[in-house]
Amino acid sequence: MSALTVDTFKQIIQERLQAELVTVEDMSGGCGQAFAVIIVSPLFQGKNKLMRHRLVNNALKEEIAGIHAFTQKGFTPDEWAAQGGKV
């Protein structure tokens, strides 16, 4: 698998998690090994944190296995709106 870029990773997340909004931050300084992501998706509805993380981990299994660090925050569209569209 070629190295992930912010854009390709973002696209993958958008597709696989039906995300309305995805931000991907490369924390590696460019080597493509560490990403922090925020995902806003209706799929998170009714799921607690652990279930959300597992959903993301499973959907991005290969990608996560190939990088060094991965940190995620997941919100439903309603939660995201309620907190004013920011973390």
- 74-to-3, 15, 31, 59, 79 alpha-carbon distances in Å: 24, 15, 24, 13, 10
Residues binding another protein (CB under 8 A)? 49-50, 53-54, 57, 61, 64-65, 69-73
Cα atoms in the 13 Å half-sphere on the side-chain side of 4 = 27
Report the DSSP pairing between strands 21-26 and 34-40.
antiparallel
Q: How far is the CB of 70 from another protein (least distance, A)?
A: 6
Beta carbon of residue 64, minimum distance to another protein (angstroms, whole number): 5
Nearer to another protein, 16 or 53 (CB): 53
Query: Between residues 16 and 73, which has the closer beta carbon with respect to another protein?
Result: 73
